[in-house]
Amino acid sequence: MEYRTEHDALGEMRVPADKLWGAQTQRSLLNFPIGGARERMPEEILRAFALLKKAAARANRALLPEKMTEEKLRYTEEACDRILAGELAEHFPLVVWQTGSGTQTNMNVNEVIARCANLAAGAPLLHPNDDVNLSQSSNDTFPSAMHIAAVLLLEEKLLPTLEGLISTLKRLEAENADAVKCGRTHLQDATPLSFGQEISGWRSSLETDRELIRRSLGPLYSLALGGTAVGTGLNAPKGFGEAAAKELAALTGHPFVTAENKFHALTSRDELVFAHGALKALAGDLMKIANDVRWLASGPRLGLGEISIPENEPGSSIMPGKVNPTQCEAVTMVAVQVFGNDAAIGFAASQGNFELNVFLPVIIDNFLRSGRLLGDVIASFEARCVSGIKAKREKMDFNLHASLMLVTALSPRIGYENAAKVAQKAHREDLTLREACLGLGFLTGEEFDGLFHPEQMI
């Protein structure tokens, strides 16, 4: 392998000749051999940094034109656009497990943009610190990139896929409005409801989660950019934070603003904790819905068997013909992972000391993983399971009329205790409710038939 020599404040470093990064990236690559390629800084953060650097350069052009010339801006924007297009992915090798402020990733981006621009210009036009990092610090850029990445993931991936699942549930709800079935509480038989009503509970839960996620976006629009090292804005021109946020809003179409208090913005991660709480709520509801679906589809002969779901692949290497609710299992595993991510985020966010939290990479890595997994699993669950749910109405009707809790319809006429006696006698002696009620002498057959209409109990 051929190398070139780069230097930073600590001296010279040998860097692979075909890579765009510089000395600081190389030092981090050597000093943090943790986890390997699968633990690299998320792509969403690198894209967020490209947007941030582009916006910062534009703000600097307006506020510090003697330093950020039109030529420097043009080459900076071209390099950022190449990052956004995915052309330079191989030049971002650093892992999450680095300095807790994300400084090395900020410098990785600075170095790649500078060298990319310099090669294009054919001259040493940009310096990673003096030009690409102008008016900035890792301490305000990395938290800002975290918010940008989180907003883009939630608004452009997770919420649209969640909307798709909600839409499918609305369709199923309408199609099954007249399918009456046994309700269940405590995993025991309960009074009737329609399958459409049951689905409406799933749909409403997800709509609530959607609203919680939307509410969490507001605080994420606030950016630390402009606070520089400790929140004072040292070495940044007046109005830089506002100008950079305005440029980011224009670039992304999302209403980013500068944080009102930069000291808070650098040391507290409560906005991401709050937003991930909404993701945890969504994961909890998805866990419940997936479990309901697999319980209702259990069988095919010896379970509840009240619905059918798509049969996507063989379920056993030893039992021929077995098919399992695999999409439901994927949903529940993702939910468990999100719960674990939430714990990591909460612990990490509590570790802001003085003017900086130094658990930033692990916070955003877990956050983005949750959002990414939820978006992917919701799309898969909707397409490969929920959209194909079919009510098995004959089985629903059979189970409904076998339920002892239909005796609740008799309570207003014969009283709670007598109705309980009817249910207990029917259960002990394997009788129908009608047979038990008539046997106890509480009602005549005509009276029972006049009261007993399960379809009217919903």
Catalytically active residues, by annotation: 186, 316
What is the separation of C-alpha 263 from the centre of its chain, rounded to a whole number of angstroms? 28
Of the candidates 198, 195, 202, the one whose C-alpha atom is nearest the C-alpha of residue 168 is 202
Residue matched to tokens 């929140």: 231
Enter the tokens of residue 116.
């990319």
- CA–CA separation, 371 and 393 (whole Å): 36
β pairing state of 390-391 and 307-308: antiparallel
Looking at the DSSP bridge assignments, the partners of residue 308 are 390
**Alpha-carbon 339 to chain mean position:** 11
Are 108 and 20 within 8 A, CB to CB?
A: no
Helix residue spans in 157-269 (DSSP H): 159-175, 195-220, 240-252, 262-267
Dihedral pair phi/psi, residue 457, rounded to 5° = -90, 0
Alpha-carbon distance of 400 to 398, in angstroms, equals 5
Length of the chain: 458
Amino acid at position 390, single letter:
K
**Tokens 């945890």 correspond to what residue?**
280
Place of tokens 């929920």: 386
From the list 101, 409, 65, the residue with the least C-alpha distance to 266 is 101
Strands, E assignment, 233-371: 257-258, 307-308, 352-353, 356-357
Q: Are the C-beta atoms of 143 and 50 separated by less than 8 Å?
A: no
Whether the Cβ atoms of residue 164 and residue 146 lie closer than 8 Å to each other = no
Angle among Cα 352, 243, 141 to the nearest 5 degrees reads 30
DSSP state of 317: S
The Cα–Cα gap between 141 and 298 comes to 51
CA count, 13 A, side-chain hemisphere, 268: 12
Listed residue (436, 430, 281) closest to 370, CA to CA? 281
The answer to whether the beta carbons of residues 130 and 346 sit under 8 Å apart is no
Q: Please, are residues 76 and 126 in contact by the beta-carbon 8 Å criterion? A: yes
